Chain A
Amino acid sequence: MIRVLLADDEGMIRSALAALLRLEPDIDVVAECADGAQAVSEALRLKPDVCLLDLEMPHLDGVQVTERLNRTLATRCVIVTRHARPGVLRRALASGAAGFLPKARSANEVAAVIRRVAAGGRYVDPEIAADALSDKRSPLTDRELDVLRAGRRGETTRQIARTLSLAPGTVRNHISNVLGKLAVDSRQQAVLLAEERGWI
């Protein structure tokens, strides 16, 4: 029996998928969670074999749940999403996710992925991988990424300059280039965008 935890904030989808998976002879859905935080606490309590995590959930998203669980548990995490934003597959793989598939897959296919992952394999959906390969490359230079990285916690220009041993004027130049290239208005927006795309 493969013990599975299901986390999805959309109740209809969650219960339908749980019902369909329970029809499989070798899969047992041990928990159904409505958000990421609940998924973490339930997983720690029940120690399931496989966690099927929705990517977009309140509080903690699927990737963050995977990061937390992989630190403490031997459970295998599979991330499910409706549409893979640019950079998200890279984030998921880096967090140690064992599988990534779109929500559109039938319960049959999901069950096959669960079996494969439970046996120690990895599953990346070809459609999602193809999307990830046709992501736009970051238009930023390494130095510009350094500046964003050094300033991601809201550090001042002066602090960034000190961290990178640059003149404050140079840092300001880099930042204005970044804002121009990404077509955003503030450094904070630039950091958010770069984090979302997995550039920093």
Chain B
Amino acid sequence: MTSQFEFAASASTAAEVRTALRLTRSISATWWYGALAIVISQLIIVALLVDTLVEGGAGTLRAVGIGVGGMLWWLATLPPLFGYRHRAIDAPLMVWRKHLPSLLVATAFGLAAGLVTGVWVVGVLPVVQAAILLNWPPGVRLRVVLAVTGLLVALALIDVRLTLGENLAAGWPQVLFLSTVLPVVTVSSLWLWDVLVALDQARTSEARLAATHERLRLATDVHDLQGHHLQVIALQLELAERLMPRDPEAATEQLRAARASVDDARQGTRDLATRFRSVPLSDELANAVDLLRAACTDAEAVADPDAATAPASALGPVIRETTTNVLRHGGGRWARLSLTRSNGSWRYEISNDIATNAPRAPQDGGGGGSGLEGLRRRAAEEDGDLEVRRDGETFTVVVTVPAGDGSADEEVAG
């Protein structure tokens, strides 16, 4: 039983699975947007810097040197950036293997670029960017980025007033501006990613919580049900024990009643479990074919594409009963099932070969059984009809029930 409950509670429909897959893809895409924004900003700064140096007549050798150094710095920032995606929240501030190379490269490039250009911001930015990409705790990172942005703004002012002076016109304003906002761009992208991850975790834990609630509710139901029945059984057994010496006949009666109570309890538990197990009729047909094939019967099923809309309450029991009959009494060579709609009613037909060697209960009609009477009553309740045919070696059961409200409306409309 427990496995049935587990199954009911944990099963997810195909639609849910598709939604989850789509969501995973969207989350992945969002990561790449953010990461690309950072990466491209860095690349633009390097390109602008080289361009400005060339325009400013700094010499090809210097410009190329800065360009190559800039690319190295750019490459060195990639591993810590992409490592950020799967980092653990409580990871240490600095993983030596991951962050040290990028810090070293950034320092070397910063020094070289600072010395070559003489611009403070250009010297400091690479190191600042590498430091921003360390694994700062959420609150601390905000303070760090405010501090370094303040520092960069101050350095930019110094550069504008003192270092560059009359050179300022040649593309430097863009370089300085972009350099100053790079840490803010980086941190806001990473922050967005953190928020997204937190939301995703909240979503999954909410789904898990819902499943747990469902299980808990089931557990309570099972507990109440079993508790009630056990109490009844205990009383019946006690009564039987007391009655045994004086009135064996009545005691036996109580024992029988206790056994009936056990059956009730079992049936009740089963009903609880099956309450959550319903599949479309087309799936029941496919399952029936699988079962018959497993029993070495050549089985085939035909179902209309909209078979899922057929009245499951009426036809479900019919499919189960007739399939069981074929499994139990059929000849075992072949079976054909079909579920089709015509003239506003659903028609289920199952035919199979008749067993030649198997023993028969008196009521068995080769593929039938006393269960067919129950099915006939059930079909009549739904204004339907059941027909049983024996035709040579073929046994056929046909059940017709009126289609539900949906199709009746269609007919009126048509």
Question: Which A residues have a C-beta under 8 Å from some C-beta of B?
Answer: 82-83, 85-86, 89-91, 93-94, 104, 106, 116, 119-124, 126-127, 129-137, 139, 177, 180-181, 183, 198
Instruction: Contact check, A137 vs B324: say whether CB atoms are below 8 A apart.
Output: no
- Note all chain B residues with C-beta closer than 8 A to A83: 1-4
Quick check: B270 and A93 within 8 Å, CB to CB? Answer: no
CB pair B17 A181 closer than 8 Å: yes
Most chain A CB within 10 A, of B2, B11, B259, B291, is at B291
Which chain A residue has the least Cβ–Cβ distance from B11? A136
Contact residues in A for B284 (Cβ distance below 8 Å): 133-134
Checking A93, A120, A133, A198 against B295 with a beta-carbon cut-off of 8 angstroms, the contacting residue is: A93
Cβ–Cβ contact B279 & A89, under 8 A: no
Which residues from chain A contact B4 at a C-beta distance below 8 Å? 83, 131
Query: Can you report 16 A-B residue pairs in the complex whose CB atoms are below 8 A from each other?
Result: A82-B1, A89-B294, A90-B290, A90-B291, A93-B291, A94-B294, A119-B359, A124-B324, A124-B328, A130-B317, A133-B320, A133-B323, A136-B7, A137-B279, A180-B17, A180-B21
A-B pairs with lowest CB-CB distance, top 9 = A129-B324, A93-B294, A93-B295, A130-B320, A94-B294, A90-B294, A124-B327, A119-B359, A121-B358
Q: How far is the CA of A104 from the CA of B263 in the complex (A)?
A: 8
Q: Is the CB of B279 within 8 A of A120?
A: no
* Interface core residue of B263, B287, B357 (most chain A CB under 10 Å): B287
Given contacts A90-B290, A93-B294, contact A183 B327 (CB under 8 A): no
Q: Which residue of A is nearest B280, CB measured?
A: A137
- Interfacial chain B residues near A132, Cβ < 8 Å: 287, 291
- Chain A residues with Cβ under 8 A from B328's Cβ? 121-124
Q: Is the CB of B10 within 8 A of A183?
A: yes
A-B contact count (CB 8 A): 98
Q: Distance (Å) between the CB of B361 and the closest chain A CB?
A: 9
B137 within 8 A of A: no
| Residues of chain B with a CB closer than 8 A to A104's CB | 263, 266
Q: Main SS of the interface on chain B? A: helix
Among residues of A, the one whose C-beta sits closest to the C-beta of B277 is A134
CA distance A131 to B358 in the complex (A): 25
> With contacts A90-B294, A122-B328, A124-B328 known, what are 16 further pairs, Cβ within 8 A?
A86-B7, A93-B294, A104-B263, A104-B266, A116-B359, A122-B358, A129-B291, A133-B287, A134-B274, A134-B279, A136-B7, A136-B279, A136-B283, A137-B279, A183-B17, A198-B294
Q: Are B17 and A134 in contact (CB under 8 A)?
A: no
Q: Which residues of A have CB within 8 Å of B286?
A: 137
Cβ–Cβ < 8 Å partners of A89 in chain B: 291, 294
The answer to whether the Cβ of B241 comes within 8 Å of any Cβ in the partner chain is: no
B371 adjacent to chain A (CB < 8 Å): yes
Chain B residue, CB-CB nearest to A122: B328
In the complex, the answer to whether A85 meets B291 with C-beta atoms within 8 Å is: no
CB proximity of B258 to chain A, nearest CB, Å: 13
The complex places the Cα of A127 from the Cα of B319 at a distance, in Å, of: 13
- Rounded to whole angstroms, the CA-CA distance of A123 and B323 in the bound complex is 12
User: In angstroms, how far is the closest chain B Cβ from the Cβ of A21?
Assistant: 17
Which of chain A's residues have a CB closer than 8 A to the CB of B274? 131, 134
Say whether A139 contacts B14, CB under 8 Å.
yes
**Cβ of B382 under 8 Å from chain A:** no
Say which residue of B3, B17, B358 sits within 8 Å of A139 (CB atoms): B17
* B226 CB → nearest A CB, Å: 14
Residues in B with CB closer than 8 Å to A136 are 7, 11, 279, 283
Q: In the complex the two chains form, is B24's CB within 8 Å of A180's CB? A: yes
- Name the CB-closest residue of A to B279: A134
Residues of chain B within 8 A (CB-CB) of A133 are: 284, 287-288, 291, 319-320, 323
B321 within 8 A of A: yes
A32 to B277, CA, bound (A): 36
Q: Return the chain B residue nearest A104 by Cβ.
A: B266
